[in-house]
Amino acid sequence: MDGSLVLFGYWLQNRSFALAIAGSDWAYPFVQATHFTGLSLWVGTNVVVDLSLLGVGKKSSTSLQLSDALFMWNWIGFGIAVTGGFLLFSVSAETYLTNIAFVIKLGLLIPLGLALHIVIQQKAPVWEKASEPPPMAKVAGFTELLLWLCVATAAVLIPYVG
Ligand code: HEM
């Protein structure tokens, strides 16, 4: 691993907030719960819009209407998930930076998922104009679902790989 990343990890895990979380009986589970609360909001609101793009469920609201209605909760969820994730990371930053599942999750899958998510939010008004969602909308919705599933899988694998 790059020496400057090791130094950064060492520096981060020795910050007072990281030491406080590591040294407390309740803080780590609390931060974990925060990460999961944010994830539930973020992934849950994404799944609603992606399934709608795939044509699953009632047609009473369009994908654009759902995306607009959930927009604020969607990004609040992301903010909470990133804050909780960063705090979890800070407790053992050096170890996480050498964990292949963590590196793939944070360095590849999350940036890809986020980029596609922003494209979907920007393209939704264009797709809305067609009478039926175009094939590209379905591909984008399906790929986003798959990417968040891969992010969650990589996260679950973190304790099992080096
Ligand atoms: C927004 C998309 C994200 C998703 C879907 C996600 C998903 C998950 C899941 C499902 C777990 C639980 C793993 C388990 O306990 O079995 C987890 C844990 C964790 N996440 Fe995230 N996460 C996301 C973002 C982040 C970010 C941005 C960071 C860091 C800045 C992060 C850092 C962590 C850490 C350090 C753990 C604890 C891993 C362990 O030691 O078991 N996550 N994440």
Q: What is the pLDDT of residues 48-99, one digit of tens each?
A: 999 999 999 888 899 999 999 999 999 999 999 999 999 999 999 999 999 9
The residue-averaged pLDDT of 129-140 equals: 88
Q: Is 55 left (phi over 0), alpha (psi -120 to 50) or beta?
A: left
Q: Determine the distance separating the centroid of ligand 1 and the alpha carbon of 92, expressed in angstroms.
A: 13
Q: Is residue 131 predicted with pLDDT exceeding 80? A: no
pLDDT of residue 58: 81
Among protein residues, the one whose CA lies closest to atom 31 of ligand 1: 85
pLDDT of residue 133: 77
pLDDT of residue 62: 92
Computed over every residue of the chain, the mean pLDDT equals 95
Q: Is residue 47 predicted with pLDDT exceeding 70? A: yes
Q: Determine the distance separating the centroid of ligand 1 and the alpha carbon of 88, expressed in angstroms.
A: 8
Percent of the chain with pLDDT strictly greater than 70: 99
Which residues does ligand 1 sit against, CB inside 6 Å? Answer: 35, 39, 42-43, 81-82, 85-86, 88-89, 96, 106, 110, 148, 151-152, 155-156, 158-159
Q: Determine the distance separating the centroid of ligand 1 and the alpha carbon of 25, expressed in angstroms.
A: 20
SS3 161: coil
Q: Determine the distance separating the centroid of ligand 1 and the alpha carbon of 51, expressed in angstroms.
A: 23
The residue-averaged pLDDT of 27-35 equals: 98
Alpha-carbon distance of 153 to 147, in angstroms, equals 10
Q: Is residue 2 predicted with pLDDT exceeding 80? A: no
Q: What is the pTM of this model?
A: 0.92
Among protein residues, the one whose CA lies closest to atom 43 of ligand 1: 155
CA-38 nearest atom, ligand 1: 1
From residue 28, alpha-carbon distances to 73, 85, 92, 160 in Å are: 24, 11, 12, 19
Among protein residues, the one whose CA lies closest to atom 35 of ligand 1: 89
pLDDT of residue 1: 66
pLDDT of residue 34: 98
